[in-house]
C-alpha cells in the first residue's frame, strides 16, 4: 500500500490566485500531492475540519492575508487550534508587521512569502514545509515511544547500575538538546519571515501582476509540449474521432469550482467509468475534473474506448489549461488596467484648473477602485446610478477630491464594516444630485455646526487635519453647488451634493 500524497490547503478570496497556486504546485510536485482550496477563512476552517475528521494529514496551509471576513493571520491562529502541527505559510502582497507578528506568535507561522512570488521559491518553501511537518511528527512519535520505553524500563529494572542510569540521563539530555536546537531553528525562521517585510507595491496591484507572471510562466513551459502532442493527435485520431476531440475542447465550462465541487464531479466521472465498463486510468477523471466538461460525456465514448485514451485526454487537458492561463492573464490585466487608470486619474489632481465635460459615474468609480482594498474587507457597496451617462461641466480632478474625502470619512465612521450607498439623481435639467450614505456612528448634535470649520476634527491626533470637509465645501462652492447632510447618532450619515450641470 502506497503512502497518501501530501495534502496542501490553499485559501484565498481570489479564484484566479487559487487556480495559479494549484497549477504551479501540481506542476512542481509532478501531481504527487493533493490540493484543497477555499475562498475564505471561514470556508477554510470548515474544510480543514472535514479533512481532519476523515483522518487526513494536512501538511501545509497556504493562506492570503487580506481577505473578507477572517484575515489570514486570524484564520491561521484558528487552524493552529485544530491542527497545531500543520505548517502555515502566509502569502500576500501587503501586510503589516503587526499581522505577521500575530501569525508568528499565535499560529506558529512557518514562512512569509511576498506577492508576486517566484514559482521555484513557492515550490521549495512548500517542499521544505512538508519535510519539516513529517520530521517533527517523527520526532514527536519517537519521543513518545522513548518515554514509554523509559517508563517500562523503570518499572521492570529497579536495580540497574549507576552506569546505566547515567547513560539514560545522557540520552534524555541529548533529546532535550535536540528539541531545543529545533526550537531555535524554528525561531530563526520566524525572524527571517519578519525580515522579509519590506516596502513594496500595494496589494491590489501585486495580485494581478502575480497572476500574470504565474500564468505566462505556465504557458511558456507548456507551449512546446502542447504543439508536439496536438501534432501527434492529428496522426492518432481518425476524422470522426478528431471531430469529437475538437467538440470536447469546445464543451469545457470555464467556471471556477470549489474543492468540494471538484471532488463531487470527479466521483461522478469515476462512477460513469464503472457503469460503462471502462478500464482506463483514473488520471483521466482528474483531467476531466480540471477541464470541467459541461456536456454529456457519453457522446465522447469513442475517445474513452480508444487505446490512446489517456494521451488524448492529457493533451485536451493541456490545451484547456493553456486557454485558462490566457483567460487569467486577461482578467488580471483588466484589473491592473483599472487600478493604474484610477491612479493616473488621481495623480493629475491640482495640475489643471480648467473646466471640462465630466462623466460623473466614471469620476466616482475612480475613487472606489482606489479604495477597493479597504472596501472589500467588510463594506457592502450599493450603487444607485441612472442607466444613462451623467455628464456635467466641472473640474474632474477637484470632484475626485470631493468623493475621496467623503468616502474616506464614511469608511472611518463605519470602522470599515458596514454599508456604503452611492446615489446619483439626474432628474433636473439644471442640477445633478449625488448622495453618499453610510450606516456609521453618525454626527452628534453638538458638533454639527462645526464640521465644515477649518481644523475641526473628531479623529485622534495625527490621523486628521480637520481640513477635509472645509476643502470640499470650497470646491463645491466653486462649482456653484451646495452641500447638505442628514445624520442620526448610531444610524449613519448622508451627504447630499448638488452640482450645476452647466457652469456659467
pLDDT confidence band for 494 (50 / 70 / 90): very high
Sequence-ordered alpha helix ranges (H) in 157-278 = 162-195, 203-236, 239-250, 259-275
Asked whether residue 344 carries a pLDDT value surpassing 60, the answer given is no
DSSP-derived secondary structure for 33-57: SEEEEESSHHHHHHHHHHHHHTT--
Model pLDDT, residue 418: 93
**List of residues 6+ apart from 6 with CB closer than 8 A:** 29, 32, 33, 34, 57, 59, 60, 130
Report for 214-218, 298-302, 364-368, 492-496: range of highest mean pLDDT? 492-496
φ, ψ of residue 64 to 5 degrees: the values are -70, 155
Q: At what angle are helices 72-82 and 41-53 packed, to 10 degrees?
A: 20
Look at 6-10, 16-20, 370-374 and tell me which has the smallest mean pLDDT: 370-374
Check: CB of residue 370 under 8 Å from CB of residue 203.
Answer: no
Separation between Cα atoms, residue 476 and residue 469, nearest integer Å: 10
Average pLDDT estimate for 277-284 = 84
CATH number of the domain located at residue range(s) 7-192 in this protein? 3.40.50.2300
Split at pLDDT 50, 70, 90, the class of 346 is very low
Q: Which three cell numbers stand for residue 186?
A: 524554528
Cβ neighbour number for residue 349 with a 10 Å cutoff? 14
Return the sign of the alpha-carbon dihedral for residues 219, 208, 120, 25.
negative
pLDDT mean over 50-69: 91
Distance, in Å, from the CA atom of 78 to the CA atom of 11, rounded to the nearest integer, reads 13
Residue 351 pLDDT: 46
Domain at 349-500: CATH architecture: 2-Layer Sandwich (3.30)
- In the Cβ-directed half-sphere of 381, how many Cα atoms lie within 13 Å? 19
The confidence score (pLDDT) of residue 335 equals: 62
Cα→Cα distances 118→181, 210, 454, Å:
30, 9, 49
Nearest to 268 by CA among 289, 249, 287: 289
Lowest mean pLDDT among 18-27, 102-111, 493-502: 102-111
Q: Give residue 299's pLDDT band: very low, low, confident or very high (50, 70, 90).
A: confident
- Average pLDDT of the segment spanning 37-63: 93
Q: What is the pLDDT of residue 469?
A: 81
Q: Which of 160-174, 203-217, 349-363 shows the lowest mean pLDDT across its residues?
A: 203-217
Which grid coordinates belong to 500? Answer: 450645476
Lowest mean pLDDT among 74-83, 162-171, 232-241: 162-171
Domain(s) of CATH 3.40.50.2300: residues in the chain: 7-192
Range with lowest mean pLDDT among 226-230, 300-304, 349-353, 418-422: 349-353
What whole-number distance in Å separates Cα of residue 129 and Cα of residue 109? 11
Asked whether the beta carbons of 285 and 266 are under 8 A apart, the reply is yes
Q: Give the whole-angstrom CA distance, residue 46 versus residue 18.
A: 17
Percent of the chain with pLDDT over 90: 24
Q: What is the mean pLDDT of the chain?
A: 80
Average pLDDT over every residue of 146-171:
71
Q: What is the mean pLDDT of residues 452-473?
A: 69
Phi, psi of 379 (to 5 degrees): -110, 125
Residue 139 CB contacts under 8 Å (≥ 6 apart), including other chains:
178, 179, 182
pLDDT, mean of residues 128-135: 91
Contact status, residue 62 vs residue 86, Cβ threshold 8 Å:
no
pLDDT at 126: 92
User: So what's the pLDDT on residue 349?
Assistant: 45
- Grid coordinates representing 199 are 516596502
What's the CA gap between 119 and 193, in Å, rounded? 18
Per the CB < 8 A criterion, the answer to whether 470 and 454 are in contact is yes
SS3 279: coil
State how far the Cα of 389 lies from the Cα of 406, in Å rounded to an integer. Answer: 22
Among the listed ranges 18-27, 102-111, 372-381, which one has the minimum average pLDDT value?
102-111
Residue in 478, 477, 496, 355 with CA at minimum distance from that of residue 436? 496
Q: How confident is the model at residue 78 (pLDDT cuts 50, 70, 90)?
A: very high
**Sign of the C-alpha dihedral, residues 448, 453, 458, 463?**
positive
Q: How confident is the model at residue 193 (pLDDT cuts 50, 70, 90)?
A: very low
Q: Which helix (H) or strand (E) holds 16?
A: helix 15-28
CB 51 within 8 A of CB 10: no
Residue 158: pLDDT band with limits 50, 70, 90: low
User: What's the alpha-carbon Rg for the chain, to the nearest Å?
Assistant: 30
Greater confidence (159 vs 418) lies with: 418
So what's the pLDDT on residue 325? Answer: 73
- In the chain, which residues fall in CATH 3.30.565.10? 349-500
Please tell me the predicted confidence (pLDDT) of residue 62. Answer: 93
Answer yes or no: is pLDDT of 186 > 80.
no
Amino acid at each position: 500500500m502506497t503512502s497518501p500524497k501530501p495534502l496542501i490547503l490553499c485559501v484565498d478570496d481570489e479564484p484566479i490566485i487559487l487556480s495559479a497556486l494549484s497549477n504551479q504546485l501540481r506542476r512542481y510536485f509532478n501531481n504527487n500531492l493533493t490540493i484543497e482550496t477555499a475562498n475564505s477563512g471561514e470556508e477554510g476552517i470548515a474544510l480543514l475540519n472535514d479533512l481532519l475528521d476523515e483522518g487526513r494529514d494536512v501538511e501545509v496551509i497556504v493562506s492570503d492575508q487580506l481577505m473578507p471576513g477572517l484575515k489570514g493571520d486570524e484564520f491561521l491562529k484558528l487552524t493552529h487550534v485544530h491542527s497545531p502541527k500543520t505548517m502555515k505559510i502566509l502569502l500576500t502582497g501587503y501586510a503589516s508587521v503587526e499581522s505577521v507578528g500575530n501569525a508568528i506568535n499565535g499560529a506558529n507561522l512557518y514562512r512569509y512569502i511576498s506577492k508576486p512570488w517566484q514559482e521555484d521559491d513557492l515550490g521549495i518553501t512548500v517542499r521544505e514545509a512538508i519535510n519539516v511537518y513529517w520530521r517533527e511528527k517523527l520526532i514527536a512519535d519517537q519521543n513518545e515511544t522513548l518515554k514509554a520505553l523509559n517508563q517500562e524500563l523503570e518499572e521492570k529494572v529497579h536495580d540497574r547500575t549507576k552506569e546505566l542510569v547515567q547513560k539514560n540521563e545522557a540520552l534524555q539530555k541529548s533529546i532535550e538538546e535536540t528539541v531545543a536546537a529545533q526550537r531555535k531553528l524554528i525561531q530563526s525562521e520566524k525572524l527571517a519571515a519578519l525580515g522579509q517585510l519590506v516596502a513594496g507595491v500595494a496589494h491590489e496591484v501585486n495580485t494581478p501582476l502575480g497572476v500574470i507572471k504565474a500564468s505566462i510562466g505556465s504557458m511558456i513551459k507548456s507551449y512546446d509540449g502542447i504543439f508536439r502532442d496536438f501534432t501527434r493527435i492529428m496522426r492518432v485520431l481518425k476524422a470522426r474521432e478528431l471531430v469529437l476531440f475538437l467538440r470536447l475542447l469546445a464543451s469545457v465550462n470555464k467556471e471556477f469550482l470549489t474543492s468540494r465541487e471538484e471532488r463531487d464531479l470527479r466521483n461522478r466521472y469515476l462512477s460513469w467509468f464503472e457503469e460503462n465498463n471502462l478500464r482506463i486510468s483514473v488520471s483521466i477523471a482528474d483531467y476531466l475534473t480540471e477541464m470541467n466538461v459541461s456536456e454529456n460525456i457519453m457522446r465522447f465514448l469513442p475517445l474513452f474506448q480508444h487505446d490512446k485514451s489517456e494521451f488524448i485526454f492529457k493533451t485536451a487537458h493541456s490545451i484547456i489549461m493553456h486557454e485558462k492561463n490566457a483567460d487569467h492573464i486577461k482578467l488580471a490585466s483588466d484589473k491592473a488596467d483599472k487600478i493604474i487608470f484610477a491612479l493616473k486619474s488621481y495623480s493629475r489632481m491640482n495640475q489643471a484648473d480648467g473646466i471640462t465635460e465630466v462623466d460623473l459615474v466614471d469620476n466616482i468609480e475612480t475613487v472606489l477602485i482606489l479604495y477597493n482594498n479597504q472596501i472589500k474587507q467588510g463594506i457592502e457597496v450599493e450603487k444607485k446610478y441612472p442607466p444613462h451617462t451623467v455628464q456635467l461641466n466641472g473640474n474632474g480632478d477637484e470632484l475626485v477630491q470631493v468623493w475621496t474625502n467623503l468616502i474616506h470619512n464614511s469608511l472611518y465612521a463605519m470602522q470599515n464594516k458596514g454599508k456604503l450607498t452611492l446615489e446619483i439623481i439626474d432628474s433636473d435639467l439644471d442640477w445633478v444630485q449625488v448622495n453618499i450614505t453610510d450606516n456609521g456612528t453618525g454626527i452628534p448634535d453638538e458638533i454639527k455646526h462645526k464640521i465644515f470649520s477649518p481644523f475641526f476634527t473628531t479623529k485622534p491626533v495625527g490621523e486628521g487635519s480637520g481640513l477635509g470637509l472645509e476643502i470640499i465645501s470650497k470646491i463645491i462652492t466653486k462649482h456653484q453647488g451646495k452641500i447638505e447632510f442628514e445624520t442620526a447618532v448610531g444610524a449613519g450619515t448622508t451627504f447630499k451634493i448638488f452640482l450645476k450641470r452647466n457652469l456659467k
